Chain A
Amino acid sequence: MSTPIRLLVGMLVTAALLLAVSATALAAGQQEVTPEDDPAETELIINSNRSDPEPRRVFAEVVEMYEERNPDVSVTVNTFSHEDYKTLLRTWLGSARAPDVVTWFAGERMRFFAERDLLEPLDSLLGGGAFTDYFPASFESAAMAGDSYYFLPETWYWWGVYYRPSVFEEHGVDIPETWDEFMDAIATFKDADMIPIAIGTRYLWTTGGWFDYLNMRINGMEFHQELTAGEVPYTDSRVRAVFEKWAELVEAGAFMDDHSAYAWQEAATPLFEGDAAMYLMGQFIFDTAPDEVQDDLDFFRFPVIDPSIGLYEDTPIDGFMIPEKARNKEAAMDFIEFLASEEIQRYQAEELGRLAANVNVEPPDDHARKGFEMVQASDGVMQFFDRDADEEFANRAMNSFVEFMTFPDRLDDILEELEQERQRMQQ
């Protein structure tokens, strides 16, 4: 081949390759538009973090029910693990091809996205007083950002100290209602060579429950709200008091000593097997309990520390949002309305043993009734540490909680660092 021809061929090949690449890209782009062109089939894309087997099964059934009633809609559910979901959600909400409906948490976690205009207001469904037709008025603030609704509450649950009644009975331990009784129970289990309190801190958030409850029982909810809102210094003596109580537990050897090696489910195994006595956890612990333990798993209210302080609880709400960039908002709204309905909320609550957000749905079973009544009798509720506090700060703080549980002596440094972090966030 002579040189000019070789050169020409080279350039032609390059051009052809470039063309081929762009043609493929174009084709791919066009292909994705097709469903919209076809009026017979509306495509609804839902991204979900309900990756635990039970919630996943129930949600799939709900979607099936929706499809049966709306034959013109085809629903695709993409399920992701909780940790992956968290990092991916941001990408989806910001992308031009956002999913139509996403699962998420109420409160600050929702507000982070709403304040950045990444969510579609749900006012057409929930506005004008309609919210309270569906849901308790106390949920309103957790579903709103500014003057608009962005979050559809679906199920909620309570936190409590989970235990196996048969294990308590075997060791002659009564349900502790005060801090002293709680410490006594811990001592009894410790003497019996058991792990008094199970906890898996590998993914950090389980420590948030401990901080929440200790702080709410010692300083009350108003202070807890101010603290999670970043308005109180972490070097405050009231914060220190929380850690001092926590240190009592650590020094008594109450927690399993290798907690940071476990995820929360892994740490639940000793509880189910009778090696650990208690676990401060949300109701969803039932999702992972083996069948033979289900009937032997109960909870009690976190013990009172200061009787002059009201009883407050963590009651996180799970639900749905519509991205601002959703391609099929009409169908998304319709689906969300379906999810809010009494029928579907009842179905989900019954299947999962959680509490439905819908006011007309009564607690599905005795266990849920007990949880419901505990919350009804409480003086106020919070979401959860990493749902009430700023996400970024919460991650740092919960890392510090784990550090504190390992090295309680470092408290001064830890508080100092948290305070610096808080000040940086406030800027």
Chain B
Amino acid sequence: MIVGQRKINLTPWAFLALPLTFYLIWVIAPVVQTIGYSLTDYDGVTFDAAFIGLENFRLLFTDRIFWTALANNVRWLIFFALLPIPIGLGLAMLLNQGYQGSHFFRTVLFLPMTLSFVIIGQIWGWIYLPRAGALNTLLEFIGMSGFTRPWLSDPGTVTYSLIAAGTWRQIPYVMILYLAGLQSVPTDLVEAAMIDGASWWQRFVRVVIPMLLPSTVVAVSISIIDSLRAFDIVFVMTRGGPFNQSQVLANFMYIEAFNNYRMGYGAAIAVIQFAVTFTFIYLYVNYTMKREQAR
């Protein structure tokens, strides 16, 4: 039947029409618009912006703040890809045992995930306060007053202090991903390995970890993308300060575009950020698609 064959082509499109329209208006169009702005000196206030070609990008590449921000994004990326994964996996393994009270710990450990970045930034801002902040007070209490410092105003520690706050929220996220992943590890496989005389460690490394590969890919990808999105914590805790030492691309873009009324320059930063993020998203989607097809 001709009509019957046509339905395969048309029905999905009919249903997709609405979301696609919205996607076009709210995702694709702004991306194109931003790329357009990045070639102008648009100030975000008046519409008499002039086309200046790649001038914004030329300025950007000679701007010391841009390179600081980019370097900090790389730091965020490295720590976000390395820290939450093993810690989240470890916690998931611990909580997966199902001993008494594991539900309680599961809830407690998951709680940071339910807080918005703004609240987390505020809480950690208090923890890091130089005078009477929780961290310095604790260090003094345990006799390590030599390690106290103004965590957020010391150019050497500020970025890592922010990353620590971000990691605190990322760990439970990864933990939940692994807890879900562990449910799908077939018990007979683990039991078979046990009967074959594999030690706990061998079972963990040879059976559990490979079975968790899909979860790991998701966790690493999400963490990398989250690290590139890092904005809220930086904005709330330091605004990129002191003197841009904790700047990241997203916050730099915000400050230039909305605080300094340099929409064109901000757009150029956004384009760079988009290109970097897009690379990782492409790798991730590519991997997932291949897996889907392999099934």
Chain A residues at the B interface, C-beta cutoff of 8 Å: 3-4, 6-7, 10-11, 13-14, 17-18, 86-87, 90, 93-94, 112-113, 116-118, 201-204, 257-261, 391-392, 395-396, 399-400, 402-403, 406, 417, 424
Contacts and interface: CB of A to CB of B under 8 A. Distances in A.
B261 A90 contact: yes
Contact of A261 (B21, B64, B130, B260): B130
Interface string B234-245: 000011011110
B26 interface: no
A391 B261 contact: yes
Given A116-B45, A391-B261, A402 B14 contact: no
Interface string B98-126: 00000000000000000000000000000
B255 interface: yes
Contact of B7 (A7, A261, A395, A403): A7
B153 interface: yes
A3 B45 contact: no
Contacts of A391: 260-261
Contacts of A406: 155, 242-243
Interface in B178-209: none
B169 interface: no
A246 to B, nearest CB: 15
A-B CB proximity, top 3 nearest: A258-B150, A260-B242, A403-B243
A13 B14 CA distance: 9
B243 A402 contact: yes
Given A3-B3, A14-B14, A116-B46, A261 B258 contact: no
Nearest to B125: A261
B261 A392 contact: yes
A10 B255 CA distance: 45
Contacts of A18: 18, 21
B239 A202 contact: yes
Contact of A258 (B153, B259, B260, B261): B153
A10 B14 contact: yes
Contacts of B150: 257-258, 260-261
26 contacts: A3-B7, A6-B7, A7-B11, A7-B14, A10-B11, A14-B14, A14-B17, A14-B18, A18-B21, A90-B45, A90-B258, A93-B45, A94-B44, A117-B46, A118-B46, A202-B153, A259-B153, A260-B241, A260-B242, A261-B153, A395-B255, A395-B260, A399-B244, A402-B243, A406-B242, A417-B64
Nearest to B241: A260
A117 B11 CA distance: 51
Interface in B129-146: 129-131
A86 B259 contact: yes
B225 to A, nearest CB: 26
Contacts of A399: 241, 243-244
B262 A392 contact: yes
Interface string B35-66: 00000000011100000000000010000100
B165 interface: no
Interface residues of B, number: 37
B167 to A, nearest CB: 21
Contacts of A204: 241
A40 to B, nearest CB: 36
B260 A392 contact: yes
Residue with the greatest number of chain B CB neighbours at <10 A, chosen from A4, A260, A396, A403: A260
Contacts of A260: 150, 152-153, 241-243
A304 B136 CA distance: 40
Given A4-B3, A201-B242, A258-B150, A113 B259 contact: no
Contacts of A11: 14
Residue with the greatest number of chain A CB neighbours at <10 A, chosen from B7, B154, B243, B255: B243
A90 B18 contact: no
Residue with the greatest number of chain A CB neighbours at <10 A, chosen from B45, B151, B155: B45
A406 B238 CA distance: 16
A200 B114 CA distance: 32
Residue with the greatest number of chain B CB neighbours at <10 A, chosen from A10, A261, A391: A261
Contacts of A113: 45
A384 B209 CA distance: 61
A16 B243 CA distance: 53
B140 to A, nearest CB: 15
Nearest to A88: B258
A119 to B, nearest CB: 12
A251 B126 CA distance: 29
Nearest to A393: B260
A311 to B, nearest CB: 31
A181 B239 CA distance: 37
A14 B11 CA distance: 11
Contacts of A396: 260
B231 to A, nearest CB: 14
A141 B269 CA distance: 37
Nearest to B1: A3
Contacts of B154: 258
A188 B236 CA distance: 37
B10 interface: yes
A414 to B, nearest CB: 9
A402 B242 contact: yes
A255 B172 CA distance: 41
Contacts of A116: 45-46
B15 interface: yes
Contacts of A13: 15
Given A203-B239, A392-B261, A90 B153 contact: no
A278 to B, nearest CB: 18
Nearest to B247: A399
Nearest to B22: A21
Interface in B147-169: 150-155
A15 to B, nearest CB: 9
A407 to B, nearest CB: 8
B247 to A, nearest CB: 10
A204 B255 CA distance: 13
A291 B3 CA distance: 82
A234 to B, nearest CB: 15
Contacts of B44: 90, 94
Contact of A400 (B7, B152, B243): B243
Contacts of A118: 45-46
A91 to B, nearest CB: 8
B46 A261 contact: no
